[in-house]
């Protein structure tokens, strides 16, 4: 299928999608960056080019410092625990367990619901009230004699984002498990058998042989979890509304743009989010698609 | 249970093996509880009458089933669930259809640069939507589609294209080229070949794609909250507002959460296999 004549109908079929994506993805990213280099406020039409002033101003903005800290805490906890749990559960289910399908479908169930639903439900579970108004998980811990687990959840100073990471882990660790399980299943049985013949322990087989083989899966998981955590938004809104202690760039961007009409600052925050995602997604896409060239 | 397993593998039953299996099942059940506790609390709370939902009694089992909460929740949410269906059905069908055409071209009609184009399309799947939100709102306004469902459908179809293209392209890579070539020999054009040869064998990919889009459009909050108004809110936005208000009781809120997630959960329960396939496609490993 190499003749030039044949390419035109193919391009014609593809072009509506291409044009739309060129405008709505690349064009809009360009426009957004353009806005971020001005002092545009939503309602007045004329704006001036001011270079990177917005970017520098945010670096001195205490609210942005909170955002960076919160995103960091959330990302490390969410990605770390999801990976650990996902891999652990996948290895566990890979031990020829009975009713594997049942466990797997329950672990994955949270993926079917929205972050809003998850947030609404966990808000009820992570009720920070104390004393006689104690409720939710705190009440359960207290009743079970696990008092040391009773805590303030998202109201905990500095580390409140850890309480937001918990429902996120609840929602996404089953998915991470599914990714790892698919990876584990792609390792041929002969590999394991050969290692067993050589007298390797089960632990050593996983650690030395299988895990290195499924490293690409781990990379996919980090990219997917990472890009979720850098733009986390609806989960926080549903659990805690908009409060400064739990602020993240996506919420700041939303408020400053659509509540305060500071389009320029909103666009700048958006560009920061984009850069943070792009630095690992672009190399990932480049290497993945290059490798699977057929 | 564990003993049978051991026999199957023809290994001697040692105490260490039995202990090992017991620990493994113990862990599986522990995490079962972790995933089920929130679901238990939602269901139980949503079925309790108001006088039993005090904070202190939330872990108690049901004394009696009361569906009044669901009737109240439906009153508050019914309209928006309807909106979500009006949004999701055309959105998912259109995105899958266009994705199928793109996937067909990018797998069976490769041209110089088509792999690069594919990568450029895929990038759209990973962008944080904040990065296009401001120009998007301005454009949707200029198109006169701001504040309504059609505008939101358009936006979901466009940003669904990358993942749909990926799912269908990977599916078609496994279809033999000879099938397409034979049709071309017979004088069919590119579109006729698609329609007569490729489309009829695409049903599994369509199920995967439509389920993916159904779930992600149904669960979307960001586009919905920015692009729709009170009459056209989909269910996520409405649910968030109900939950945010102090007036609505917890049991009604939980019933609302159940109603809001029922459609996607039903899809998951009955079509879980396809649901999973779509999710795995999201990791580029189709």
Residue A273 has pLDDT above 90, yes or no: yes
Q: Give the mutation candidate from A35, A87, A95, A117 for the B interface (greatest B CB count, under 10 A).
A: A117
Residue B3 has pLDDT above 60, yes or no: no
Distance from CA of A146 to the nearest CA of B (A): 16
DSSP state letter for A97: -
Residue B5 has pLDDT above 50, yes or no: no
Rg (CA), chain B: 24
Contact between B53 and B249 under an 8 Å Cβ cutoff? The reply is yes
User: For A193-249, what is each residue's pLDDT tens digit?
Assistant: 888 888 888 888 888 888 898 888 999 899 999 989 999 999 999 999 889 999 999
The answer to whether A291 contacts chain B (CB < 8 Å) is: no
CA B273, distance to chain mean position in Å, is: 13
- Predicted confidence band at B159 (pLDDT cuts at 50, 70, 90)? very high
DSSP letter string, B27-74: HHHHHHHHHHHHHHHHHHHHTS-GGG--GGGTTSPPSS--THHHHHHH
Q: What whole-number distance in Å separates Cα of residue A45 and Cα of residue B277?
A: 48
Residues 43-82 of A with CB under 8 A from B: none
Nearest residue of B to residue A169, measured between CA atoms = B35
- Predicted confidence band at A147 (pLDDT cuts at 50, 70, 90)? confident
CA B18, distance to chain mean position in Å, is: 40
pLDDT at B282: 67
Contact between B209 and B96 under an 8 Å Cβ cutoff? The reply is yes
Q: What whole-number distance in Å separates Cα of residue B55 and Cα of residue A142?
A: 14
Look at A139 and A23; give whichever has higher pLDDT. A23
User: For B62-78, what is each residue's pLDDT tens digit?
Assistant: 777 888 999 999 999 99
Burial zone of A290 (CB within 10 Å; 0-12 exposed, 13-18 middle, 19+ buried): exposed
Average pLDDT, chain B: 89
Percent helix, strand, coil in chain B, to 5, is 80, 0, 20
* End-to-end CA gap in chain B: 35
- Looking at chain B, the whole-number percentage of residues with pLDDT higher than 90 is 65
CA B195, distance to chain mean position in Å, is: 27
Rounded mean pLDDT, A147-154: 88
Q: What whole-number distance in Å separates Cα of residue A30 and Cα of residue A41?
A: 18
Select from B209, B159, B53 the least CA-distant residue to A28.
B159
Rounded mean pLDDT, B87-110: 95
The answer to whether B135 contacts A35, with C-beta atoms less than 8 Å apart, is: yes
3-state secondary structure A236-255: HHHHHCCCHHHCCHHHHHHH
Of A96, A118, A221, the CB nearest to B5: A96
CA B7, distance to chain mean position in Å, is: 41
CA A239 → CA B78, B177, B241, distances in Å?
23, 51, 12
**In which element (H, E) is residue B78 found?**
helix B68-108
Q: What whole-number distance in Å separates Cα of residue A117 and Cα of residue A132?
A: 27
DSSP letter string, A13-78: HHHHHHHHHIIIIIIHHHHHHHHHTB---TT-S---B-TTHHHHHHHT-HHHHHHHHHHHHHHHHH
- Predicted confidence band at A271 (pLDDT cuts at 50, 70, 90)? very high
User: For B177-231, what is each residue's pLDDT tens digit?
Assistant: 999 888 888 888 888 999 999 999 999 999 999 999 999 999 999 999 999 999 9
Could you give phi then psi for residue B284, rounded to 5 degrees? Answer: 75, 10
Of B38, B42, B221, the CB nearest to A115: B221
Structure ipTM = 0.90
Tokens 């695409």 -> residue: B202
Burial zone of B43 (CB within 10 Å; 0-12 exposed, 13-18 middle, 19+ buried): middle
DSSP state letter for B160: H
Q: Give the mutation candidate from B25, B128, B268 for the A interface (greatest A CB count, under 10 A).
A: B128
Q: What whole-number distance in Å separates Cα of residue B41 and Cα of residue A9?
A: 56
Residues 186-225 of B with CB under 8 A from A: 189-191, 194, 215, 218-222
Q: Is the dihedral of CA A5, A9, A12, A18 positive or negative?
A: negative
- Which residues lie across from B147 on neighbouring strands? B228
The answer to whether A113 contacts B265, with C-beta atoms less than 8 Å apart, is: yes
Rounded mean pLDDT, A58-65: 97
Q: Please report residues of B whose CB lies closer than 8 A to that of A1.
A: 108-110, 177, 181
pLDDT at A293: 47
Of A103, A129, A175, the CB nearest to B32: A103
The answer to whether A3 contacts chain B (CB < 8 Å) is: no
The answer to whether B23 contacts chain A (CB < 8 Å) is: no
The answer to whether A112 contacts B257, with C-beta atoms less than 8 Å apart, is: no
The answer to whether A113 contacts B220, with C-beta atoms less than 8 Å apart, is: no
CA A152 → CA A115, A136, A161, A261, distances in Å?
21, 11, 11, 34
Q: How many CB pairs under 8 A join A and B?
A: 278
Residue B8 has pLDDT above 80, yes or no: no
Whole-prediction pTM value?
0.91
CA B257 → CA B7, B31, B72, B142, B238, distances in Å?
46, 23, 12, 35, 10
pLDDT at B9: 52
User: For B29-47, what is each residue's pLDDT tens digit?
Assistant: 999 999 999 999 899 989 9
The answer to whether A86 contacts chain B (CB < 8 Å) is: no
User: For A20-54, what is each residue's pLDDT tens digit?
Assistant: 999 999 999 999 999 999 998 876 667 889 999 99
């Amino acid at each position: 299928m190499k003749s030039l004549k044949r390419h035109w109908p193919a391009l014609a079929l593809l072009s509506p999608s291409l044009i739309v994506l060129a405008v709505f993805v690349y064009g809009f990213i360009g426009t957004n960056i353009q806005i971020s280099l001005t002092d545009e406020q939503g309602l007045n039409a004329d704006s001036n080019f001011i270079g990177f002033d917005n970017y520098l101003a945010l670096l001195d903005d205490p609210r942005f410092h909170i955002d960076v800290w919160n995103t960091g805490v959330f990302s490390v906890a969410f990605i770390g625990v999801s990976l650990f749990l996902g891999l652990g559960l996948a290895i566990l289910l890979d031990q020829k367990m009975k009713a594997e399908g049942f466990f797997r479908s329950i672990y994955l169930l949270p993926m079917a619901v929205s972050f809003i639903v998850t947030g609404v439900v966990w808000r009820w579970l992570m009720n920070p009230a104390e004393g006689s108004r104690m409720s939710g998980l705190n009440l359960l811990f207290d009743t079970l004699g696990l008092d040391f687990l009773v805590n303030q959840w998202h109201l905990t100073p500095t580390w409140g984002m850890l309480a937001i990471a918990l429902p996120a882990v609840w929602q996404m660790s089953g998915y991470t498990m599914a990714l790892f399980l698919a990876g584990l299943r792609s390792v041929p049985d002969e590999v394991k058998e050969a290692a067993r013949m050589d007298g390797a322990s089960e632990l050593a087989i996983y650690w030395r042989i299988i895990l290195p083989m499924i490293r690409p899966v781990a990379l996919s998981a980090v990219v997917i979890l990472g890009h979720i955590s850098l733009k986390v938004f609806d989960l926080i809104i549903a659990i805690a509304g908009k409060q400064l202690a739990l602020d993240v760039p996506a919420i700041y961007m939303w408020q400053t743009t659509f509540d305060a009409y500071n389009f320029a600052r909103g666009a700048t925050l958006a560009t920061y989010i984009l850069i943070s995602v792009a630095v690992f997604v672009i190399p990932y896409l480049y290497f993945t698609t290059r490798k699977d060239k057929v | 249970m564990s003993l049978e397993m051991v026999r199957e593998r023809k290994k001697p039953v040692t105490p260490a093996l039995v202990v090992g299996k017991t620990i493994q099942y113990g862990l599986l059940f522990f995490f079962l509880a972790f995933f089920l506790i929130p679901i238990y609390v939602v269901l139980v709370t949503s079925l309790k009458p108001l006088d039993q939902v005090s904070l202190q009694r939330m872990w108690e089992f049901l004394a009696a089933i009361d569906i009044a909460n669901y009737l109240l929740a439906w009153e508050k949410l019914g309209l928006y669930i309807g909106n979500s269906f009006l949004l999701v059905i055309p959105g998912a069908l259109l995105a899958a259809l266009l994705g199928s055409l793109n996937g067909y071209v990018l797998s069976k009609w490769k041209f110089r640069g088509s792999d690069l184009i594919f990568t450029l399309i895929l990038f759209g799947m990973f962008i944080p939507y904040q990065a296009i939100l401001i120009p998007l709102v301005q454009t949707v306004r200029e198109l006169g589609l701001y504040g309504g469902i059609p505008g939101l459908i358009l936006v979901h179809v466009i940003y669904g294209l990358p993942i749909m293209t990926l799912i269908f392209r990977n599916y078609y890579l496994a279809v033999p080229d000879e099938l397409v070539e034979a049709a071309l020999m017979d004088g069919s054009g590119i579109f006729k070949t698609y329609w007569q040869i490729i489309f009829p064998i695409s049903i599994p990919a369509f199920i995967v794609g439509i389920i993916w889009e159904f779930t992600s459009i149904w669960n979307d909050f960001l586009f919905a909250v920015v692009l729709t108004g009170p009459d056209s809110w989909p269910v996520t936005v409405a649910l968030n507002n109900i939950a945010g208000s102090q007036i609505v009781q917890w049991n009604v809120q939980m019933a609302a959460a159940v109603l809001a997630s029922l459609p996607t959960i039903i899809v998951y329960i009955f079509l879980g296999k396809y649901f999973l396939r779509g999710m795995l496609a999201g990791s580029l490993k189709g």
